[in-house]
Amino acid sequence: MRLHRVKAIYLKELKELARDRISRVVVLVVPLIITLLFGYGMSLDVENVPFVVCDEDKSALSREFVSKLKENREFFNFKGYVSSQREVEELLLRGKAKFGVVIPDSFGERLKEGKSANLQVLIDGTFPFQAEVSGTYVDAVANSFILDLIPHLREMPFSIDTRYWFNEELKQKHITSSGILAVVFTVSPAIFTAIIFSRERERGTIYNIYTSPVGRLEYLLGKQLLTLSVYTVNVLFLSLVVVFLFKVPFRGNYPFFFFATELFILTSSSIGMLVSTFLRTQIGAIVVTMIITIIPAFLYSGYLIPVSSMGREAYIEAHLFPTLYYMNIVKGSFLKGVGPLSLLKDTVAILFFYILFLSLSYIRFKKRER
């Protein structure tokens, strides 16, 4: 073996790596991105679950019970008192709380008289595992509370009425089969658009565009129109599959859901378009687009992990990807039955991302070779 040949090959490969931008990104940037994204997002632990309490009794016993609920700060995050059950329902609907405890006004008095009292626990069932843990936690706190109160007691003097909202039977299938729409409409349109853009450049047919009078925005929107028309069929078909094949109820406003999905497809395709303005080859555009879309779609959208339970860094990261807002629309439309007004903020957020990505694509795309 000649060491100088080994050295020559090594230097040649090193120069190739220095010349190839895609290789540099794949070798240096992608591992870092994956490490950061998975490091913050890949956690299935039940932590930091937000909850609220509606204390209609306001007695010493009710406050003592609430203080026991607040003790476990590692897994449950007390967001404060609310004034009515209606407010609890509103916070569950908006995702600001994952469960709420309603203490009736005669709670303390009935316990002192040795009578039973009913606590009501309202739990967001869109994350079945977290919902079951939350329900079990409240049961455990109630048992501990009453045993401390009456040590010789053999039977609970009050009962807990637990109701799971939005997913009454806690069927994980309802969550995964409807939520996968957000993953599909994030990844697939982006990759498709990246392919049709990069393919034109790879085959050299982009020179026909360079020499034509077609404007940059016309070119971009024409490409997006193709993606939108192709995926409109998928929107209708996959919605039917989720409802009729997976038996997931659709409780919202379908015209609004259709409009929001079309807007989201335009946003996803803009991601693929923007990526392809940086890369010359199809394979490079596909790989980078997959990395940019798949990981946020699974980990930072609320599909596997509730965003409200994430750490501060992961929580901020989640809000930097449009899939989170579309996932809210999917869950709101299929499971919660909320209308356009409740989902207006999410729709505006998606529109903002669309304008942002389209503008960046317009700036990046030039009718000449760089």
For the stretch 286-321, pLDDT in tens is 888 888 898 888 888 888 778 877 778 888 888 999
More confident residue, 77 or 263: 263
Highest mean pLDDT among 114-123, 167-176, 203-212, 225-234 belongs to 225-234
Answer yes or no: are the C-beta atoms of 124 and 88 closer than 8 Å. Answer: no
CA max distance for the chain = 94
Q: 219 with 97, same domain?
A: no
DSSP 242: I
Q: 187 with 104, same domain?
A: no
- pLDDT at 135 (0 to 100): 81
Tell me the pLDDT tens digit for each residue of 181-235. 898 899 888 988 888 888 778 877 778 778 777 788 888 888 888 888 888 888 8
Q: Is the per-residue pLDDT at 26 higher than 70?
A: no
Q: Is the per-residue pLDDT at 43 higher than 60?
A: no
In a domain, 161, yes or no: no
Q: What is the spatial distance between Cα 342 and Cα 137, in angstroms, rounded to a whole number? A: 30
What is the amino acid identity at position 166? F
Distance of CA 223 to CAs 187, 190, 320, Å? Answer: 17, 12, 25
The least confident of 93-107, 131-145, 187-201, 227-241 is: 131-145
Strand-pair category, 99-103 with 118-124? antiparallel
Answer yes or no: are the C-beta atoms of 54 and 100 closer than 8 Å. Answer: yes
In a domain, 162, yes or no: no
In a domain, 302, yes or no: yes
The predicted model gives 259-278 an average pLDDT of: 93
Q: 278 with 326, same domain?
A: yes
Q: Residue 214: left (phi > 0), alpha (psi -120 to 50), or beta?
A: beta
On average, the pLDDT of the chain sits at 81
Overall number of domains in the chain? 2
Q: 142 with 267, same domain?
A: no
Q: Is the per-residue pLDDT at 38 higher than 70?
A: no
CATH number at residue 100: 3.40.1710.10
- pLDDT at 16 (0 to 100): 63
Q: How far is CA 209 from the centre of its chain?
A: 38
Task: Output the pTM of the full model.
Answer: 0.74
Q: What is the spatial distance between Cα 346 and Cα 305, in angstroms, rounded to a whole number? A: 19
Q: Give the domain-ending residue among 149, 181, 203.
A: 149
Share of the chain above pLDDT 70, in %: 83
Q: 181 with 304, same domain?
A: yes
Answer yes or no: are the C-beta atoms of 122 and 88 closer than 8 Å. Answer: yes
Q: 11 with 67, same domain?
A: no
In a domain, 154, yes or no: no
What is the amino acid identity at position 271? I
Q: 39 with 59, same domain?
A: no
Q: 13 with 98, same domain?
A: no
The predicted model gives 265-279 an average pLDDT of: 91
Q: 209 with 296, same domain?
A: yes
Which range marks the domain in which residue 57 is found?
A: 49-149
In a domain, 166, yes or no: no
Q: Is the per-residue pLDDT at 8 higher than 60?
A: yes
DSSP E strand boundaries for the chain: 49-55, 76-81, 99-103, 118-124, 159-165
Count how many residues are written for the chain.
370
Q: 223 with 136, same domain?
A: no
Q: 88 with 129, same domain?
A: yes
Tell me the pLDDT tens digit for each residue of 313-362. 888 888 999 999 999 999 999 988 888 998 999 999 999 999 999 999 99
In a domain, 156, yes or no: no
Q: What percentage of the chain's residues is helix, strand, coil (to nearest 5)?
A: 65, 10, 25
Q: 14 with 54, same domain?
A: no
Answer yes or no: are the C-beta atoms of 166 and 125 closer than 8 Å. Answer: yes
In a domain, 136, yes or no: yes
